[in-house]
Structure 1
Amino acid sequence: MTERSKMDEIISRYADMVYRIALNNMKTRHDADDVFQEVFLRCVKCGRKKGDFESEEHLKAWLIRVTINCCNKFWSSGWRRHVVFGEEPSKLFEFPEENGIHEAMTSLPPKYRNVLHLFYFEDMAVKDIAEVLKVKEPAVRMQLTRGRAMLREKLKGEMLE
């Protein structure tokens, strides 16, 4: 299998997951597109330097970690801190679901948002999330509990309106 066909296979298999995580963290399609591109560029560079990844789980965990790191890097960049938006960035993209779950998710702090996303949308176990995020399992369980409570509170306010 050639290097290009390996990368095409990786991109086709994990593109949706990487894009969902990027969109969950970035809140706009344009920024998520930038992160998506950066993640797979890094994958190409890393794949050529290190050879193939150890396993599918290792590749998936690496992609998740790199996606989250790219999002964090984007938000902490000097340019981003000094840009003034004409409109709130979270309002630039409208989520397809009408029930408000995604809007409520994007309003959570990143550590809760990422854990909830990985648990519910990527069907990852607590142990796997802890390994990917490099935190202890009790911390992941606590973030899930607190994130659910925050999400429940935000959705309760929307349900009353």
Structure 2
Amino acid sequence: MQRSMTRPGNHVMKSYETYAAMLFRIAVVHLGSREDAEEATQDTFIKLMEKAPVFQDDEHQKAWLIRVITNHCYTLLGRGWRKREVKLDGAEPIAAGAPEDTALLHLVMALPAKYKTVIHLYYYEDYRVQEISSILQISESAVKMRLQRGRQLLKLDLEGAEPQ
């Protein structure tokens, strides 16, 4: 594999400037905490520096970064200490703009991880089904099914009904 002859940190800085905000939003949706999202974003860029993969193009790099942060969030959510974590009263909620947007974001964050991931990538990051399929390494029909089921769960939550 051939690597570019630029200084080692240049590609990471460019990547950080380009993708950090998006990766942070993905992590917030998964983890629900600004601090945890910042840590996950930082860990993703550390992995980029350590692995120094060679990418075919910018889209390949973007997909790789999304996959890394998504996997990292799943790992963090599965750790025992996180399950025993106590939320602080009065902690600053994550601002999403209008109160309706904040309420919807909280509902999305409360979805099971497999639904929240596709909902976020589709509606908040504007990815197409085919792109989500490639990023998450699942079939397009699985993406469509998760979108459908995620929407159903959100609809039930918005209507105040219990799932059957």
Q: TM-score range by the shorter chain?
A: 0.7 to 0.9
Which of 112, 131, 135 is 2:134 aligned to?
Answer: 131
User: What is the number of residues matched between the two proteins?
Assistant: 152
Check conservation: 1:116, 1:144, Cα contact below 8 A: yes
> C-alpha root-mean-square deviation of aligned residues, in Å?
1.9
Q: Note the alpha carbon deviations across 1:30-62, whole angstroms, 9 max, x for none.
A: 111110111000011111xx3x31211111111
Give the 3 Å change call, closer, same or farther, for CA 86–121 of structure 1 in structure 2. Answer: closer
Name stretches of at least 5 consecutive residues in structure 2 with no aligned partner. Answer: 1-5
Check conservation: 2:9, 2:49, Cα contact below 8 A: no
Name stretches of at least 5 consecutive residues in structure 1 with no aligned partner. Answer: none
TM-score if structure 1 supplies the norm length?
0.86
Greater share of helix: 1
**CA distance in 2 between partners of 1:65 and 1:137 (Å):** 16
* Alignment of 1:150 onto 2:150: no
**Residues 18-29 of structure 1 aligned to structure 2 (within 5 Å):** 18-29=23-34
Q: Note the alpha carbon deviations across 1:10-46, whole angstroms, 9 max, x for none.
A: 0000011100000000101111111011100001111
**Residues 45-84 of structure 1 aligned to structure 2 (within 5 Å):** 45-47=50-52, 50=53, 52-81=54-83, 83-84=84-85
Q: SS at 2:132's partner residue?
A: helix
Which of 9, 14, 22 is 1:9 aligned to?
Answer: 14
Give the 3 Å change call, closer, same or farther, for CA 84–123 of structure 1 in structure 2. Answer: closer
Q: SS at 2:105's partner residue?
A: helix
TM-score if structure 2 supplies the norm length?
0.85
Greater relative contact order (Cα 8 A, min sep 6): structure 1 or 2?
A: 1
Percent sequence identity is: 33
